Amino acid sequence: MPGHPSLAGRSFFLVLSSTGGMGGGGSALRVCADHRGGINWLSLSPDGQRLLTGSEDGTARLWSTADGQCCALLQGHESYVTFCQLEDEAAFTCSADCTIRKWDVLTGQCLQVFRGHTSIVNRILVANNQLFSSSYDRTARAWSVDKGQVSREFRGHRNCVLTLAYCAPWDLPGAPCVEEAVAGGLLVTGSTDGTAKVWQVASGCCHQTLRGHTGAVLCLVLDTPSHTAFTGSTDATIRAWDILSGEQLRVFQEHQGSVICLELANRHVYSGSADRTVKCWLADTGERVRTFAAHRHSVSALKYHAGTLFTGSGDARARAFDAQSGALQRVFRGHAFIINCIQGVQPHSLERPRSPEDKRFLLTKNRDVSSKSC
């Protein structure tokens, strides 16, 4: 793409099997190499039967997880695809061309173009019949999925909006003091300005500004039952916040480098860092309970599944750890560049029945996303 470096050659994703005994390497079941640029993101359909990939080549592709065949080529973006989300009946992609597109998953036809952002659209999220987006133009937006029009603009960050999460109104407490504010749910955004913000979706007003980080907020996850947000930053800390009151609840600080990715599972927070480690913390106290070492570069992706923690790294390896003991179970080799996304595939969505212990994961590779400037 003009003005943006791409990887030479054809990029691919691997379908890797984690079957068999502990130890050893994972085997590549499929290699799909139709994209002509790095793969920035992938998304599985809710039923696990289709996979959507968004690429540096400006296209997205739909694949069958059963046989690895490309089902549809989604063409129309004028620059690289930054992120994608696959739903049952539609696919959504966003791009450095400042637009978001909605696609028919059966025909590959573009159904809607969402225009309004004035810089790279970084992330999108489809929830509660709304589309939320974050952009390098310092705004987040809410769109009507059906009409393709902006319904709310969330303006207040002083720099790029990198990450976002949505909390539906039925997941929030019904206290009279907050009932009106959360009627349409809350949107949480993280920015390179060092803050996270909580927005009232119904009104577009900023509900809380979460201040405390001394570096860019790179990632966030929500624990909706406790209305708590966890944010990771270039200041090497994770912070827990009450999104209703804006109170900082606790600080997790043992990493020696930027916190790049977060995963929340079973009241534990997993954090991947530029210091080449993953750490496991008790979500309710901030106590570190485990460190997962073995990576030779930054940890760029995390996925917890059925007692196993899968990690992706800048060393072009994916790894499987026993989440309880921290023991390294397997190393997956085959990619040539950083792995920046991991998605799980249930066994029944593949070509033949498997035992419950058969866990398979789809991995993408690409260059370090931090090379993009705001």
pLDDT above 50 (res 264): yes
Token pair recorded at residue 205: 């007003």
For residue 179, what is the DSSP state?
H
Token pair recorded at residue 272: 């991947």
pLDDT band at 172 (very low <50, low <70, confident <90, very high): confident
> For 117-131, how does the pLDDT look when each residue is reduced to its tens digit (9 = 90+)?
999 999 999 998 899
Q: What integer pLDDT is reported at residue 358 of this predicted model?
A: 45
> For 29-77, how does the pLDDT look when each residue is reduced to its tens digit (9 = 90+)?
666 667 778 888 999 988 888 899 999 999 999 998 888 888 999 999 9
- pLDDT, mean over the chain: 86
Sheet holding 278-282, edge to edge: 259-265, 268-273, 278-282, 288-292
pLDDT band at 19 (very low <50, low <70, confident <90, very high): very low
Residue 315: name the closest of 293, 299, 291 by CA. Answer: 299
Q: What is the largest CA-CA distance in the chain?
A: 58
Q: What integer pLDDT is reported at residue 364 of this predicted model?
A: 59
pLDDT above 60 (res 96): yes
Token pair recorded at residue 356: 């419950």
Token pair recorded at residue 361: 């994961």
Token pair recorded at residue 354: 């498997």
**First-to-last CA distance in the chain?**
17
pLDDT above 60 (res 114): yes
Q: What integer pLDDT is reported at residue 333 of this predicted model?
A: 84
Q: For residues 325-340, give the mean pLDDT.
A: 88
Identify the residue with better confidence: 179 or 110. 110
Neighbours of 271 (CB within 10 A): 27
pLDDT above 90 (res 14): no
pLDDT above 70 (res 152): yes
Identify the residue with better confidence: 30 or 232. 232
Task: Compute CA distances 195 → 29, 248, 316, whole Å.
Answer: 42, 12, 31
Q: What integer pLDDT is reported at residue 345 of this predicted model?
A: 59
pLDDT above 50 (res 158): yes
Q: For residues 210-229, give the mean pLDDT.
A: 97
pLDDT band at 27 (very low <50, low <70, confident <90, very high): low
Q: What is the pTM of this model?
A: 0.88
Q: What integer pLDDT is reported at residue 240 of this predicted model?
A: 98
Rounded Cα distance, 365 and 41, in Å: 9
pLDDT above 90 (res 113): yes
pLDDT band at 271 (very low <50, low <70, confident <90, very high): very high
pLDDT band at 22 (very low <50, low <70, confident <90, very high): very low
Q: What integer pLDDT is reported at residue 154 of this predicted model?
A: 98
Q: What integer pLDDT is reported at residue 247 of this predicted model?
A: 98
Identify the residue with better confidence: 241 or 340. 241
